[in-house]
Amino acid sequence: MAAAEAGDTQQMLGVGLIEKDTNGEVLWVWCYPSTTAALRTLLLRKCCLTASNKLSQPFVFGQYRRTWFYITTVEVPDSSVLKKVTHFSIVVTAKDFNPEKYAAFSRMLCRVYLKHGSPVKMMESYIAVLTKGICQSEENGSFLNKDFDAQKAYLAGSIKDIVAQFGMETVILHMALMLKKRVVVYHPKIEAVQEFTRTLPALVWHRQDWTVLHSYVHLDTDELDALQKCPGYVAGFVDPEVSDRSDLYDVFVNLAESEITITPLAKEAMTMGKLHREIGQLIVQSAEDPEKSDSQVIQDISLKTREIFTNLAPFSEASGDGEKRVLNFAALKQRRFPPATENFLCQLAVAEQMLKI
């Protein structure tokens, strides 16, 4: 148990401090153990203290090149020992996706800094969590790493809310994720973007892969270059200009207008048929059932997804190296599925790396 807990805390990569002083200057003032200049620039952009970032958001999270960042920003009260600082942001970087865990931890670090005005005290708390998985103090509260399970983070969003907004069109999002397409979500409010995007990977629960999530992306070259190296993703933006960047997406979700658009280039791969209508109806019926929780809706979608793979199984065979199964395209053709279903199963085999090219 202790070993598992220690392994879990090793997910943390570092902690940093950004301050806005009484002159309005925003500076990266401290970090432990260290961070790159590129990551510092990115995190300054993400925190809501710079003039270029007009968002006033107490907590944001996202991913950049497989490093997760979690940023909590607070206003400094007059009673604090920090007399020359108006606001500050605590940044925690980590290998894992768990917004609730790092929001709780960074809030605790904020209380420590407000009380002592010294990064040294924050570093002590950080090292305690890193080495023991726990940090306790009477005046600043306690943080226990094992209170925050990864599965809970995966289930924290609401599939039911997504279906309430998009109805049968939710199947487009399910299909896009199944086929590892590029999904871009836009809304002017970052909290709406983060809540919506974090939930989407649950539509393909069998993968349990939140590395596809990039919940807070700017239209800056470094971020877009990193994003476009990913084979498929869910990316959130607050800049309306992203709608003009069709090179970034196969499916565009305008969350503010409740609109989902498939790009012309992706339309052929995402042709819908009887199978998709069935999946769409199942998703809507399950989500609209007042007796069902979000996790039960996810379970229903997952069972349907498993059924699709079961249907694919008779047309797969052991690969030459025997390590994984590959699709026998000729056998699939002989089955004479409706064209849209056959196309989808082939595209799915490509996404799951089951197709010999």
- pLDDT digits 0-9 by tens, 254-276: 999 999 999 999 999 899 999 99
Confidence check: pLDDT of 88 > 70: yes
* pLDDT value for 168: 97
- The answer on 188 and 213 residing in a single domain is yes
Domain endpoint, select from 129, 152, 175: 152
- Tell me if 324 sits within 8 A of 354, measured CB to CB: yes
CATH at residue 148: 3.30.450
Q: How far is CA 272 from the centre of its chain?
A: 26
Cis peptide before 33 (omega within 30 of 0): yes
How confident is the prediction for the chain on average, in pLDDT?
90
Residue 336 sits at φ, ψ, to 5 deg, of: 55, 55
CATH at residue 299: 3.40.50.11500
- The answer on 333 and 222 residing in a single domain is yes
> Worst-scoring range by mean pLDDT, 9-18, 159-168, 235-244?
9-18
- The answer on 204 and 340 residing in a single domain is yes
- Tell me if 317 sits within 8 A of 305, measured CB to CB: no
Q: Any idea what the Cα angle at residue 189 is, between residues 206 and 111, rounded to 5°?
A: 85
Phi-psi region of 224 (alpha: psi -120 to 50; beta: other; left: phi over 0): alpha
- The answer on 245 and 204 residing in a single domain is yes
pLDDT digits (tens, 9 = 90+) for 90-119: 999 999 999 999 999 999 999 999 999 999
* pLDDT value for 138: 67
Q: Domain of residue 8: give its range.
A: 2-152
pLDDT digits (tens, 9 = 90+) for 311-354: 887 877 776 665 667 877 778 888 888 888 888 888 888 888 77
CA distance 59 to 48: 9
